[in-house]
Each structure stands twice: as structure tokens, then as C-alpha cells.
Chains A and B, each alone.
Chain A
Amino acid sequence: MAYRLGVDVGGTFTDVLLIDTDSGQTWRHKTASTPADQSEGVLRGMTAVCTDAGVGLGDLDEVLHGTTVATNAILEQKGATVGLVTTKGFRQVLQIARSFVPGGLAGWIIWPKPEPLAALEHTVEATERVATDGTIVTELDLDDLRPRLERLRDRGVDALCVSLINSFANGDHEERIGELAADVFGPDVSISLSSRVLPELREYERTVTTVANGYVQPQVSRYVANLAASLADGGLDGPLYILRSDGGLASADAATDHPVSLLLSGPAGGVTGAAWAAAGAGHDDFLTFDMGGTSTDVALVQSGEPRIGRQTRVGDMEVRSASVDVQTVGAGGGSIAHVPELTRALRVGPQSAGADPGPAAYGTGGEHPTVTDANVVLGYLPTELAGGEIALDVEAARRAVQTIADATDLGSVEAAAEGIVDIVNENMFGALRKVSVQQGIDPRDYALVAFGGAGPLHANALGRLMGSWPVIIPPSPGVLCAYGDATTGLRDEAAQTLVRQFHQTSDDELAEVFDRLADQARGTLLEEGVAAEDVELVHSADVRYHGQGFEIPVTVDDRDGGLDAIATRFDTEHERLFGFLLDGNDHELVTVRVTARGPRPDVAAERLADGDDPVVAKRADTTIRVEGAETTAAVYERQGLAAGMRIEGPAIITEMDSTTLVLPDHVAEVHASGSLLITPVDHDPGEADTAAPTTDQEA
């Protein structure tokens, strides 16, 4: 017998999933998260699920873990006291940032500028200078620096970051400062060097990324060390892996060294879980749609591979780190609807009622009308949520939504509720378009996988707006991240910034760099015991026309094709995205990258038994409101559904952690893998929906 255990820590719940990799049988457990020390909830959940399955921790081959420790440290501003060493003259690199003020004209009047993660009083300068080509202009003066570092130590700095100008071209001075710092601060203070964290050009972006790394490092390493120790005490033999923002796994040590790569560990688990569920249902091109209480994350997956972006955004802060390319919008079940007095417009969000006080319907003190309240008014949510733990107060929801009806010309509380739902759907539609239409991708060729507490409720409507069919509701949409953790493989990447026009380099030089990076990336996996023949390498390059400021990532399918193959691929992408080429300009290689991937674990999906008439799972009829009219919808319990059953809308399908709405003229088919596949009744899978938006390449 072989077991894998995935565990995902979210804001509210810790989800644990144990998989018998031979049979595909799964055991799940959901327990309250323990924010003070996440490892408590993790251990409790793991113990519970193992008890259910009748196995011990010692029987687990490996534990795969998605964590929000790094993210929370930033959101809650509870990270380390970071010291920063810059090149002389650049002490205020974080203070000035990119001089950018968000918002429109006069936006500066109302912009609250966030404080930098490394305070200015904890920033010191080193006398040294490296030129853009890596040559030394001014030798590093360590004697001059030592007393300043000692002062930082005495001021209580517990994470030190070094980010010197042009260190992407030559990291020698940073390395030497790192050694001095290790001497001054001793072994307990973590040290982050920008030339290791992000050897890329642009000093602000490199510095902020390095500082974010240092800021979260002490918490992450403490957490990972505690958890590993507790698991070992409990008898775990197998390794502990942490899910990174880019959807790959890292060993506990690697994660601790480079914690900035964990900032989107949570969303990445969702997207990889969606990939697993969609593959089980026979789809590998799809959009994901993860709607929670305060925000919604969307992403694009092609051929089973999530699109990887170079930016990671957490709260107000954006760092350069590879992550699943997730777009986040401030639209969730808790988003508050309001009508500004002056314009009488109906706005939904970005303010959220969150968990406290929560939507009015929760009866926990919330009075503002939220998206959840609108769903309650429309009859989409059964009056008891989460297995009866939360009873919904319909009257409170109606009272709250009535305020919107009163402030607008919408007439009735139901019309106001529909308006709120339409507008929040539109906000999410905008985010989905960003990752599809605006990237030149036709969403009608893609399925839509919906999860998160509120995703399945809005998924059918978004499928219709996007023309993306089928809409896939995975089994247990609330614990999908844990599936993602449990079903992903090891991954590492090595990258180098070159900034060379094609005429300044050669196929041989490119091959040499690729070889070196491949050895580096592969090495990590080999150390983790992956067999050499199982390591898959993906070569890619960020390319632009010489003089452009943005690069297009290009996957190099044909390594032997050299620069010509890259140029051709780049031109195709540029034409697709923007509709023109710049024939007179040379191409420029900016960053070259090799990703090494271990095999995806072979986890069989549990198969549902075959069934026929869904009436066996039907629990009630209820009245809902759709497009201005009342109609009767059947309510089904998901647990009772079997493979092959077809549920015609309007219908509501409930389960412990989520509710699915099937609209009139749509049908949900129960797939043997456990997913629900929603399509329009008259849907012809061979033909795209003509009402959906056109894409760039067609115009």
C-alpha cells in the first residue's frame, strides 16, 4: 500500500486529503485552521484522517503541503524586522520605489502610501560599485560596513537583505557582505542576497523581492522546522514537501531558503487541484475560477499546465517571483453592494463584510447587503449551510438588499438582488477576460473549472458570459487545494538574465547557458531522489524586440533550433498579441530559464458507481428567481448522485462545503470522476458559441 497526504491551510479551514495511490480511494478531513500556529491544525487534521483510514503517520510515503504562512506574514504585517544593505546613493530605493501613484489624475490626493517592508532606519549603505557589465567600479569596503551592520544587529534586525546595484551581473560583493553579515549576526539571522533571490535587472523590483524573502523567512523556517519535527515525532518517515507559488513542490529546506516563492502557495494548490479534476473529466484546456468570501482568483491552464507568470501580488505589494498566473479581483460572497449618493450607481465591492461581521444572512451582526445576501434573496442558497452549522436568516438578507432597491430605481428586492449578482459576475468576467481574451486566447475553446466556497454558485452564469463549456464543478470544491497538493510533482527552475541582442550571441552560447541551467534545475530533483530519466526539462526564454520594455515568454520546444527557432516563435506570439511585427529591430534575449519537473504522481481518481435517474438524490423543490421570473428548482444532495445522471436546470445541488446552481436551459451531467459538467441543453461541443466575445486573432 502507498499513501500520499495533501494538506492545505486556508484562512478558515485546514483541509486534509489522504490518497491510497493504488486504489485511488480517498479520505478527507476538514478542521478549523489555527492561525497562531498553523501546524496544530495540520497535525490534528492529519491524525484524524489517518485514524479514519486506519493507517499511521509512518505509513505515509510523503506529505505535500500548501501553506499561507508566508502570505499571512505580509498581509498581517507580522514578518521579520528586516535590515537592508544597498549601494551607496541608493538607500531610499524602497522609499522612492518607481515613483508611481495609483489611480487617476488627482489620485494622489487619496492614496495611502504603504510603508516599505524594510524600514529606512534599518537600511544602510555599502561603499562599493559594480557596472552594468559586471565589472568593478569601486571595490567593496567591508571595514566601513561592519559597524553599520553591528548597529542594525543592536537595533533588533532579525533578517538581513543585501541588494546592490547591478548585482544581477556580478553578485560577488553581495556574497562577501553575506559572509560578513553571517559573522556579525550569527547563525540565527537569515540572510537574503538579491543576486540569488532574483538575478534580474531593475533595482527596485529586485530589492523588494529580496526584502519580501527576508521578511517572511524567519516565520516560514520556524514553521516548517516545527512541523517537520512534530511529524517526525509522530513517526513520519517520508519527506515533507511544500507547494510553491508556481505549482511545483519544493523540499522543506529549499522552501525555507527561498520563501518568497511560497507567497501564492494557496492559489497554486487550487489551480493544480483543478488541473487534476479537469483531467479526470477529460479536459486539459480550461480557465479556473476560485471564488471565496472576499476575493476571486482566476487563471488559465493550457494542455494541463497552468500559465506561469513572473509577478506575484500580495495585498499592495508586487514582487518578481514565478507563480501561477492568477488574476485576483476583490469580488466574493462577502462583497458589499452600495449606491453612492452622488451618482446613484450600483457598486459591488471592493469592500467586504468578510467573516466578521459577515453577510446579513449569517445573523452575526452584519447589516450591509452582500453578494451572499443577494443569493439568499434569489433562493439560490439553501437555508442551512455547511451541514447545518450556519442557519441563514432570509429576512435579514431581504432587509439588507431592500436598501439597494430603495436607493435605485430597481423596484423590488428581488430585482436589486439580481442586479448585485449580475454586477459581481461582471467583475469576475473582467478578470477571466484578462487571462484569456486579452492574451489572445478564445475562451470558447476552454472549459471553466469552478471551486471555492462560492464558485459553483456563480459558475453557470460565468460559463454563459464566457462561452466556456463545460463548466466543471470538481468533487469537494472546498478541499480542491488539498487535491492539488497531493497530486502535483516536484519542480525547480534555474534562470539567468542575459540581455543580449541576437546578433551579440550565438546558438552555441545559448546551448551552453541552457546546459548549465539544466544541470542546476535537474540537480535539485536528483537530490530529492527523482530518477534521472523521470526528470522532464522545459527550456524557455523571455524575449523582446531590442528597446522594448516588456518581454514575451517563449517556450523553446526545439532546443536545437537555436536562436532562429526562438525568433520565429516570438514573432508568432507578438503578431498574435499585438497584430504587428517590428522587422527592423533585432530580437533580444532577456532571461533564459530551464524548468525541471519530476513525474506527476500516479493517483487514480475514485470512480463513482453508475446511476440513472437523479431523483434518488432529490430532496425538495424550492422557488428561485432567474432573469426576473420565479421558477421552481429541484434541490439535490450531491452525495447521492451517481455517474451518468443528468440534472436539468433550474436545479440546486448542495454538499457540505458548497452549493451549485444549474440555470434553466442548462444541464449538469455527473461524470464518473465525480465532477459535475454543466452545459447548455442545446450545446454542440463541436461549435463555438457565437454570442461570446471575439478574440484578438480573429479581428
Chain B
Amino acid sequence: MATIIETTTDPVESVDVDVVTLDLVENALRNARYEMDEVLFRTALSPGIREQHDEFPLIGDPEGKMVVGQFGLSIPDFLDNYDGEIREGDVLLTSDPYACGAAISHANDWLVVMPIYHGGRVVGWASMFGHMSDVGGKVPASMPTDARTIYEEGVIIPPFKLYREGELAEESLELILRQVRKPDWNRADLNGIVAACRTAGRRITELCDRFGVETYLSALDDLLQRNHDAMKALLELVFEEGKTISFTDYICDDGVGYGPYELKLSLTREGEKVTLDFTGSSPQARGPINYYINANLMKMFFGIYMITVADPQILWNDGFYPLIDVVIPEDSFWKPKFPAALSGRNHGIGRVFDLLGGLLGQTNPDLLNAAGFSSSPHFMFDGTYTSGEEAGETFQLYSIGFGGIPGRPMGDGPDGHSLWPSFKNIPSEYLESYYPLRIEVWETVPDSGGAGLHRGGNGVDVAYRFLEDGEIAIHDDRWLTYPWGVLGGEPGARGTKWLERADGTTEVLPSKCHGVPVRTGDLLHFVTWGGGGWGDPLERDPDLVGLEVLRGLVTVDGARRYGVVCDDEGEVDADATAALRDELRADRDDDLPVFDMGPPMEEILANAQEETGLPAPRPPVAAP
């Protein structure tokens, strides 16, 4: 438990804050949070943060409760786990999930936490973490897909003072940077994160000057209360007292041959409280896919999903946390035992959103989306230049792929987009100017989005031609289980990766692999998965299906899944379409399934080799 040193300790009087001042403070907090993003984007060097925005800001109240932020970290858990004094001018850094109560969930994320002082008193916290492209360890990018322990995943930074009362701990920083492959990236990105936190600190002290500390802090309490009250009303409206609902989804494999892992989430409301329970999920994985989830983060994920449709303008904060209990079983996928490997947890985080969709959609039709592009698959490429003016220098790429947004109540899912906020793809021209790569294809895969009244978004095929020898690594999932459809919508297509070697041979790559050697002239196809469809595909406007054939988003064969007969110009044959739709309707149940997860799991496993080119994983066993 951290000891906070303040030179002013007399209690701050709580005052009444009118609704207008409250909204002024809310607005100013929102501006400060976006300014944090801006500072980091503009100064970062690693493509992961600079181009793709893999970072998360947060501003907290004096106790560390989030008053504005994206999500994705927890200051109270950090402070609970830090033994030491914290003073004005201190800036703390950690990358150890096991030492901060999973405030971050793998060692690539560097978390900075900074107290904000005003008149000798802590008035809040600024915090941000960013994904470092490399933190050392046995493979470039530091996410070995076969890791069994966190010791294989690079340098682990225990919580410590990067700045002690304004003084940089230079020796410690050099010691850390000596462990990583691209120290200039980490240094710049870390500088940017600290600069962003300091910017937030300035904005908060300005607010205290403008409104007075009493009003500012009382306003925070009111904003927290506003969330609490809104959520309380919403929970009672949406969930039936005492009734438990559940949903189960999967992670296909763990990188070392076991899978699929079952992820189960249940929800029960009793009185004003809702319990989210992960009991029934698979035990801790052997490979690095465990997602050590923080209970507060889970509350935030849940809250954001609940409210997005109700009041999109609201500023999200921690105020409703007392209304939610989270049960996370020990030694499970969600709470592995130290020192379990954690680096490949991105699939688990992503799948939380499919779990929430499948769970909450059962009682809230506005939230019943199909399964989407619930991951942030990684592609890594590293090596050494052999020619040109950079000969002898190493290169290292870490990038994130995108896929199909699912069919939604409001309409089709966009093709090849990000389910994560703020993320962007890296432009091909940027990749080609910084790496020995040529991008030969960057397009979405027709028919990969699930058929539905609202079509699921298509997955993306990016084809990388290698212009130097090197090694690649891939972190992806949904190669085996399907992105499910809802309300009669069909599942989307699964992802796949293959290499076309310069010598003409082809090999399918596992969805999680590293250290795969590639030679100049080889071509990698990195194909992501599509979103599931929403609603009955036979109800979709045939002319729209025809137009999408003309656009190359759906094929002539694929149009038949919608019961539409057309030519390759998208010209619809109305009679043949009516006949085909009648035939398809006659062959199916009248009641369309709420969830279509594809074939039964036994069948998926039995056909794995034939359909995917990869062997089925072995059933998970408890970690030794």
C-alpha cells in the first residue's frame, strides 16, 4: 500500500456543484484526456503507438478512481501493490502485471502513474500505458508464442520511481533500456507517455485554479455519482431479478498445441447488484494466451457496453463500480498463477467483447451484435539489411491487423475495420518506406463476412512480399472456431495464413507462431476473419446483394447464401431469386437460431486438418 505524502492535509470541504459547473468540468476532463493522446501520437517513434495508437490514457480522482479515460488500467490496484512513499514530482513506472494487481496484463505494456498535486495536496492521478514494440526476451517483439513463463517475455519492470521528485532515475532507465532491442523507440515512447501525463497534470491544476479545489473535487464526486445512478437505473431496467444468463465463446489454441479454451461468462442481478462470473471457463493455459483480467477493468468493459447505446455523450468513470461484483476463479485462464506466460493475451481481451455481446444481447436487442473482429492480431517481421545504405542495420516491425466488424442492429458491419477504438492501420507506403517489404495486395475477402439481413464485414487479405531475409511471427486466432452470427445471420469466415515460397511451394502457418524464417522473394498472405451476419439473409434486398457482387464484396456463388441469383455484373434474376428463396426457406427451421456458432465442436475438430490445413489442437490440460 503506497503512502502518499502531502504537505496540506486538512480535509477538503464538500460543496454543492450545480449541473452547469458539473458539465463544464466534465467537458474539460474530456479535452484533457484527448490532449494526452495527441501528445503521445505526435512524439512516439514505434509504429505500434505512432501509427496504430496502441495506448490508453486515464485521469483519476485523489483515490485513483478513473474520472475520464479510455479503459484498460487501474490506479487503485497499482497503489495497493506499491510499498513506498509517493511525493510531488514522482513519476512511477511498471511493466509487471503480477506486481500491480493486473493493472496491465502483459509485460509489453509500460504503465506510467503520476500524482497530481495542487497546493501540496493530491487532487488526482494521471496515468497512461503504451504497448512497447520490444521489451527484450527471446524473440523480437517479446511475445514468444511458445512461452510457458513470463521470464521468457522480456524485461519485467517492478513498480519504481522513474522520476523521484522531478529527478530522472537515469541509471535505472539505462539498465532497462539495455534489455530491449530498439531502445530509441522505448525511450521516445516513454518520454511521450510522461509528457502526456504531465499535460494532464497541468490541465487538472488549471481546473482547480479556475473552479477552486473544493468545487473541482466535489464535481468529481458528483460525476462518479452520476454514473452510479445512471447504471443503477439501467441494470434494473435490463436484467431480470435473480435470473442467471450465460454465454460461452472460445480461444482456438494456446500456441503450444492445446485448445480450444472455453471462456464462460454469467450474469445475475440480485437487488441493485449485478454479479459477473467467469466460473466454468477453462483452467490456466500452458501457452502465453492467459488473460490476467483485473476486476475493475471488467466492470468498465461491462459498463461501457451497457451505456453506449443509452447516452453516447456520457463521460465514463468508475462511479458505478460498487454495483458490480466480479468473480474470477483462481488458476484459470483469467487469473493464472505466477509466473505463467501472458504475452499473447490480446485474443482474450478481444473475446471479452464477443462474450459481452453474446451475454448482454440476450436481454438488450440494441446490443445483440454478431461476433466481430474481436482481437488485434499481430504480424511481426525482423532481420538485418544486407544491402543499401542501411546494410548491417536491423529492422523490426510490429503491426496490428484488422477484419470484419459484425452485422449490427443498425446495419452492415464495415469491411476491414477495427473493433478497437482509436486503432488505425499502417499505410502500405509507410511500411514500404521503412521496411524491406512490398505490399502486393491489401483488400477485403469477398464472402468472408457472414450472410445476414445486415452483412458481417469482410476480413482482409494483406500480402507481404519480403525483400530481405528475416523471421516472422504471427499472433492470431479464430482459425478454428467461427465468428458467430445472430438472429438467423450466418457465421463469418475464419482467418488463415500461408506462405508462398519463392521456390513455388506453399505452406500454411499456424495462427500463433514465431521464428518462421522467410527468404527474399517469399510472399505471406495474412488473411483475417470476417464478422458474423445479423438477421435473416433471405430478407436482404436482392438489389443490394447484386450491387455488392458488382463491387466485388460478395461473389456470384456467395449471393446464393442470400437466396439471390445474379450474374457477375450483379444483375439480379428476380424469378430465380424468388424460387431459390422459397426453396431455402422450405429447407430450414421456421425458428431461426439466436446464435449460429457454425458446426458442432466435434465436427469442427474432426475436419480441422482438411478445412484449415492445420491439425486440431489437443484438449487443454491443467498447467503443471
Q: How far is the CB of B54 from chain A (nearest CB, A)?
A: 13
A103 touches B421 (CB 8 A): yes
A430 touches B432 (CB 8 A): no
A433 touches B31 (CB 8 A): yes
B42 interface residue, CB < 8 Å from A? yes
- The answer to whether residues A109 and B308 also contact, given A100-B423, A423-B20, A433-B31 and a CB cut-off of 8 A, is yes
B393 interface residue, CB < 8 Å from A? no
B70 touches A347 (CB 8 A): no
A344 touches B19 (CB 8 A): yes
B226 touches A109 (CB 8 A): no
- The answer to whether residues A107 and B226 also contact, given A100-B417, A132-B429 and a CB cut-off of 8 A, is no
Q: Provide the bound-state CA to CA distance between A132 and B408, in Å.
A: 39
Find chain A residues with CB under 8 A from B31 CB.
Answer: 430, 433-434
Q: Provide the bound-state CA to CA distance between A580 and B191, in Å.
A: 7
A550 touches B429 (CB 8 A): no
Find chain B residues with CB under 8 A from A110 CB.
Answer: 308-309, 312, 410
A676 interface residue, CB < 8 Å from B? no
A67 interface residue, CB < 8 Å from B? no
Residues 369 to 391 of chain B near chain A (Cβ within 8 Å): 369, 372, 389
B421 touches A342 (CB 8 A): no
- Residues 11-54 of chain B, each 1 if its beta carbon lies under 8 Å from chain A, else 0: 00000001110111011100100010011011111110011000
Q: Which residue in chain A gives the minimum CB-CB distance to B38? A: A438
A113 touches B414 (CB 8 A): yes
B233 touches A342 (CB 8 A): yes
- Residues 12-41 of chain A, each 1 if its beta carbon lies under 8 Å from chain B, else 0: 000000000000000000000000000000
Complex interface: stretch among B83-91, B122-130, B181-189, B331-339: B181-189
Residues 316 to 346 of chain A near chain B (Cβ within 8 Å): 340, 342-346
B561 interface residue, CB < 8 Å from A? no
B550 touches A121 (CB 8 A): yes
A89 touches B184 (CB 8 A): no
Q: How far is the CB of B114 from chain A (nearest CB, A)?
A: 13
B543 interface residue, CB < 8 Å from A? no
Q: Provide the bound-state CA to CA distance between A113 and B418, in Å.
A: 12
Find chain B residues with CB under 8 A from A254 CB.
Answer: none
B151 interface residue, CB < 8 Å from A? no
Find chain B residues with CB under 8 A from A426 CB.
Answer: 23-24, 27-28
B427 interface residue, CB < 8 Å from A? yes
Q: How far is the CB of A320 from chain B (nearest CB, A)?
A: 12
- Residues 133-147 of chain A, each 1 if its beta carbon lies under 8 Å from chain B, else 0: 000010000000000
B552 touches A120 (CB 8 A): yes
B310 touches A342 (CB 8 A): yes
A427 interface residue, CB < 8 Å from B? yes
Q: How far is the CB of A386 from chain B (nearest CB, A)?
A: 30
Complex interface: stretch among A48-56, A90-98, A519-527: A90-98
Find chain A residues with CB under 8 A from B463 CB.
Answer: 89
Residues 396 to 425 of chain B near chain A (Cβ within 8 Å): 402, 405, 408-411, 414-425
- The answer to whether residues A691 and B210 also contact, given A419-B20, A548-B43 and a CB cut-off of 8 A, is yes
A418 interface residue, CB < 8 Å from B? yes
Q: Provide the bound-state CA to CA distance between A98 and B39, in Å.
A: 20
Find chain A residues with CB under 8 A from B427 CB.
Answer: 98, 201-205
Task: Indicate which residue in A106, A129, A345 contacts B308 across the interface (CB closer than 8 Å).
Answer: A106
A89 touches B418 (CB 8 A): no
Q: Most chain-B Cβ atoms within 10 A of its Cβ — which of A89, A96, A433?
A: A96
Find chain B residues with CB under 8 A from A578 CB.
Answer: 39, 42-43, 191-192, 195
B443 touches A91 (CB 8 A): yes
A-B contact count (CB 8 A): 253
Find chain A residues with CB under 8 A from B199 CB.
Answer: 696
B19 touches A202 (CB 8 A): no
Q: Which residue in chain A gives the minimum CB-CB distance to B71? A: A105
Q: Provide the bound-state CA to CA distance between A580 and B417, in Å.
A: 34
- The answer to whether residues A346 and B19 also contact, given A89-B441, A426-B24, A549-B51 and a CB cut-off of 8 A, is yes
Residues 542 to 597 of chain B near chain A (Cβ within 8 Å): 547, 550-553, 570
A202 touches B430 (CB 8 A): yes
Q: Provide the bound-state CA to CA distance between A419 and B18, in Å.
A: 9
Q: Provide the bound-state CA to CA distance between A203 and B429, in Å.
A: 6
- Residues 278-313 of chain B, each 1 if its beta carbon lies under 8 Å from chain A, else 0: 000000000000000000000001001101111111
- The answer to whether residues A582 and B188 also contact, given A120-B552, A504-B389 and a CB cut-off of 8 A, is yes
Q: How far is the CB of B209 from chain A (nearest CB, A)?
A: 8
A699 touches B198 (CB 8 A): yes
B327 interface residue, CB < 8 Å from A? no
A461 interface residue, CB < 8 Å from B? no
Q: How far is the CB of A578 from chain B (nearest CB, A)?
A: 5
Q: Provide the bound-state CA to CA distance between A343 and B311, in Å.
A: 8
Residues 654 to 699 of chain A near chain B (Cβ within 8 Å): 691, 693-694, 696, 699
- Residues 227-246 of chain B, each 1 if its beta carbon lies under 8 Å from chain A, else 0: 10110011000000000000
Q: Which residue in chain A gives the minimum CB-CB distance to B234? A: A342
Q: Provide the bound-state CA to CA distance between A434 and B37, in Å.
A: 13
Residues 186 to 212 of chain A near chain B (Cβ within 8 Å): 201-205
Q: Most chain-A Cβ atoms within 10 A of its Cβ — which of B20, B47, B419?
A: B20
A279 interface residue, CB < 8 Å from B? no
B442 interface residue, CB < 8 Å from A? yes
B213 interface residue, CB < 8 Å from A? no
A101 touches B421 (CB 8 A): yes
A549 touches B313 (CB 8 A): no
B308 touches A104 (CB 8 A): yes
B444 interface residue, CB < 8 Å from A? yes
A109 touches B187 (CB 8 A): no
B273 interface residue, CB < 8 Å from A? no
Q: Which residue in chain A gives the minimum CB-CB distance to B308? A: A106
- The answer to whether residues A95 and B416 also contact, given A109-B367, A110-B309, A582-B187 and a CB cut-off of 8 A, is yes
B418 touches A100 (CB 8 A): yes
Find chain A residues with CB under 8 A from B310 CB.
Answer: 340, 342
B428 interface residue, CB < 8 Å from A? yes
Q: How far is the CB of A694 from chain B (nearest CB, A)?
A: 6
B24 touches A422 (CB 8 A): yes
Find chain A residues with CB under 8 A from B416 CB.
Answer: 92, 95-96, 99
Q: Provide the bound-state CA to CA distance between A100 and B39, in Å.
A: 19
Q: Provide the bound-state CA to CA distance between A433 and B28, in Å.
A: 10
B20 touches A131 (CB 8 A): no
Find chain A residues with CB under 8 A from B51 CB.
Answer: 549
Q: Provide the bound-state CA to CA distance between A529 and B27, in Å.
A: 51
B261 interface residue, CB < 8 Å from A? no
Q: How far is the CB of A503 from chain B (nearest CB, A)?
A: 10
A388 interface residue, CB < 8 Å from B? no
B70 touches A105 (CB 8 A): yes
B23 touches A345 (CB 8 A): yes
Q: Which residue in chain B gives the minimum CB-CB distance to A499? A: B433
B202 touches A699 (CB 8 A): yes
Q: How far is the CB of B243 from chain A (nearest CB, A)?
A: 23
B419 touches A108 (CB 8 A): yes
8 closest A-B pairs by CB: A549-B50, A89-B441, A547-B45, A120-B551, A419-B20, A99-B402, A96-B416, A132-B432
- A-B contacts besides A90-B442, A166-B432, A201-B433, 19 pairs, CB < 8 Å: A93-B442, A95-B415, A96-B417, A104-B304, A105-B305, A105-B353, A109-B410, A110-B309, A132-B433, A165-B439, A168-B429, A342-B230, A342-B311, A410-B18, A430-B31, A545-B188, A550-B43, A578-B195, A699-B198
List 10 A-B pairs, Cβ < 8 Å. A92-B443, A110-B312, A165-B429, A345-B19, A346-B20, A410-B20, A423-B27, A545-B45, A547-B184, A694-B202
List residues of chain A with CB under 8 Å of any chain B CB.
Answer: 89-93, 95-113, 119-121, 129, 131-132, 137, 165-166, 168, 201-205, 340, 342-347, 408-410, 418-419, 422-423, 426-427, 430, 433-434, 438, 499, 504, 545, 547-550, 574, 577-580, 582, 584-585, 691, 693-694, 696, 699
